[in-house]
Chain A
Amino acid sequence: MSMKRFGLMLIILVVVASFSMAGGKAEGQEGSDTEPIRIGASLALTGNLGSAGKSILLAWQICLEDWNAKGGVLGRPVELVYYDDHSNASEVPGLYTKLITVDKVDFIQSPYGTPAITAAMPIAMEHGMVYPGNAALAANKEFNYKYYFSFWPLGPRQVEGIADLFFEAAMSSGEKNLTVAILSEDNEYGARVSEGALESVKKYGLKVVYNDRYPPSPATVDFTPVVRAVQNTGADLFFVGSFPQGTISIIKACKEVGYKPKLFGGAMTGVAYAANLTELGPLLNGVCACCYYVPEPTIQFGNVEDFLETYQSRAAVEGVDPLGYYNPPWAYSSMDTLLKAIEATGSLDQTVVGDYILANGWDSVVGKGAWDPAGSGEIAESRGFLVQWRGIESNDLSEFMVPGKQVIIAPEEYQSGPMLWPSPLFED
């Protein structure tokens, strides 16, 4: 290889590398006399989970700014050291090893999503690090790690609990002999959702007439054939466990083939993101999905409104999800709870801080609560609820920022309006 060619290859490699590896960034207060406390994490900032990862990053940044404005933790500024894992769980273990052994961060936060969180769990355990989790489904099931704390509102029943909410709502209609179609994405999430749905269906004595999984996006571009297959079974209840692209496409496909089950939705993710809500607009009318925050009067979680106000003003500028209903409050709470524990114990020792969090539970903008006594690392009681959209007239974001359009129909303690039965699907 001549020098010229070699040089060219080198330039290409450097350009590629600089984009793909986007090195660790540290941020926080500069020019401070005291050494900062450093929190490390990898996040999905690009790739298919990037949308969530970026909103989590913003929530953490807001949290650190809040603490630093108050004078930091233990009188020291707090700094975030983070890497982009490109939504690729296989990159995660390496990044956490690097964070702990090379960057020598004081504490870690988990990456985003079940696969990534599970991937870094052994690293956290090996180094005995406190491991606050950000949005995973039962990541601790195989590990039973004492210092894993899942900041996610589903509780010990996890996604299986979503199915309970859905079928409970359907049963409350009083109608008998309802038939059920279950469709979920062919991944870990979808598998769990389907499993939960089958259990739930058995509990309520319903009949399953369709149960299948579709290949994850983008393998499935056109959902009309699968929805038509479901329609052909004439199922009354259409329970769906989908990731965002599937959610949007399945809703559209239902409308297009004219399938109107009596209750439709369930564990469809992505319906908390502004981009998807505005994309669907009136198509959401009558659709049901599990949410963790909506601006309904029955939702009184800590000071989440104040947080969302700050978040929304910042998100618009940074081009991150402008609503922040999904991950950000819990991501903020995850970071906040960790920092509070450090401050309260006055220690940087993982065991001390971990034991404190274990004993004192979680306490932040999403309110406070204990951990699952069974030791799963999940919160003790589910905070998820089922929303049924109604009265959406346009694709404007403001539709989703006022009460009365995303009505909570289950469970009872958060219910903010009656369930519409059968669902007036897609009606303006």
Chain B
Amino acid sequence: MIDVILNTIVSGILIGGFYAACAIGLSISFGMLRIPNIAHPGFIIAGGFLTYYFNKTFGLDPLLAGLLIIPIFFAFGFLLYRGYNRFFESKRDEREGQMSALVLFFGVLMIIEALLSVTFGVDFRTVTTPWSSIVLHFGSVGICLRMAVPFLCSVLMVCILYLYFSKTYLGLVIQAVAQDSMAATLIGSDPRFAKSIAFGISFSTAAYAGTLFVCLVPVEPSLGMQFLGRVFSIAILGGLGSPLGTAVAGLIVGITESLTTAYIGSSWTLAVSFILLLIIIAVKPTGLFRR
């Protein structure tokens, strides 16, 4: 009995870490930069497909392939912010800007799906590696590397981002810009540059979350649209803009889902995690970790 609980919780932790990796970029773009990038899950799926492509074409380990696509996504995010800033952000008041940005990013999400469908086809794709099928046993707890490796990568990602945002100049500046853009210029920083970097980072995390996604389960182009709700709710639950909060929120959702599946029934999984979300938001509207 205790074995089942332990195994269930471990599963929840492992998948929760992955959820955090998916949501953390949105937490940065939506939370820190106030850019409602609903195309984020689309970029995750795109990252997954590119990883798949590099794996199948060059036989690269997906985790390595993921590292290779990060610069591409970073550059893309960096430039996309420049465009966004030029055409949307600098010309409107914030509310109006966000509304048209929603339309923009919804379009981007659909374009990504269409491009992926055309380029890679609409089949489910996944990457299998020599380590995917290994299961490690610790006493009665079995941990499969297919789940554990993405989890460890997610943890590493969260730690790197946490350190980056709290210990480096540029990381702190990004936070500063998010809190008071005018004051940020007075410490000699260029908010546009800082935000471009942050958006690039947000995209990089999407790319790598995609890598982890395609290692975990089969992925197809329209999954981005379907994954939107969960990614947003975890980002909000964590308190937008907080890497640690996002990680904790991911774990909470993961463990809740896992326990619900095992003890209440899998048909309740979604309902229970959304009820939990509603309760937390009702009690603490800014999410778990927003100060």
Contact = CB atoms under 8 A, between A and B. Distances in A.
> Do A and B interact?
yes
A228 B7 contact: yes
A16 B142 contact: no
A321 B258 contact: no
B262 to A, nearest CB: 5
A259 to B, nearest CB: 11
B152 to A, nearest CB: 15
Q: Interface on chain B toward A: helix, strand, loop, or mixed SS? A: helix
Contacts of B37: none
Given A5-B91, A258-B135, A16 B267 contact: no
A256 B218 contact: no
A346 B218 CA distance: 48
Contact of B87 (A8, A48, A221, A276): A8
Interface of B: 4, 7-8, 11-12, 14-15, 18, 87, 91, 100, 103-104, 106-107, 110-111, 113-114, 117, 121-126, 128, 133, 135, 142, 144, 146-147, 216-218, 220-223, 226-227, 230, 254, 257-259, 261-263, 265-267, 269-270
Nearest to A276: B124
Most B-side CB within 10 Å, residue of A8, A217, A248: A217
A219 B124 contact: no
Interface of A: 5, 8-9, 12-13, 15-16, 19-20, 22, 45-48, 50-51, 53-54, 87, 183, 186, 212-215, 217-222, 224-226, 228-229, 232, 244-245, 248-249, 252, 255-258, 270, 273, 275-276, 279, 281, 283, 319-321, 395
A215 B121 contact: no
Nearest to B22: A221
B267 A213 contact: yes
A256 B117 contact: no
Nearest to B18: A221
Given A228-B7, A249-B217, A276-B124, A256 B146 contact: yes
Given A19-B110, A48-B220, A273 B270 contact: no
The majority secondary structure among interface residues of chain A is helix
Given A221-B18, A224-B11, A51 B122 contact: yes
Contacts of B254: 222
A46 B223 contact: no
A87 B222 contact: yes
B262 A226 contact: yes
B114 to A, nearest CB: 4
A220 B269 contact: yes
A12 B104 contact: yes
Given A46-B117, A219-B270, A51 B124 contact: yes
Contacts of B113: 46
24 contacts: A13-B103, A15-B107, A15-B111, A16-B111, A19-B114, A22-B114, A48-B226, A51-B122, A51-B220, A186-B267, A212-B266, A214-B261, A217-B223, A218-B217, A222-B257, A225-B258, A229-B4, A229-B263, A245-B220, A252-B146, A279-B218, A281-B128, A283-B133, A395-B128
A248 B126 contact: yes
B91 A221 contact: no
A12 B266 CA distance: 41
A46 B222 contact: yes
B125 A275 contact: yes
B110 A16 contact: yes
Given A46-B114, A245-B124, A215 B267 contact: yes
Nearest to A222: B15
A214 B266 contact: yes
A253 B142 CA distance: 11
Contact of A245 (B114, B218, B267, B270): B218
A50 B122 contact: yes
Given A220-B266, A228-B11, A245-B217, 19 more contacts: A12-B107, A20-B114, A47-B222, A212-B265, A212-B267, A213-B267, A218-B217, A220-B269, A222-B14, A228-B262, A229-B261, A229-B266, A248-B126, A252-B133, A252-B146, A256-B133, A270-B124, A275-B123, A279-B126
- Of the listed residues A5, A16, A224, A255, the one surrounded by the most CB atoms of chain B closer than 10 A to its CB is A224
B142 A276 contact: no
A273 B133 CA distance: 22
A50 B107 contact: no
Contacts of B146: 252, 256
B222 A225 contact: no
Given A218-B227, A225-B262, A248 B11 contact: no
Contacts of A9: 100, 103
B56 to A, nearest CB: 11
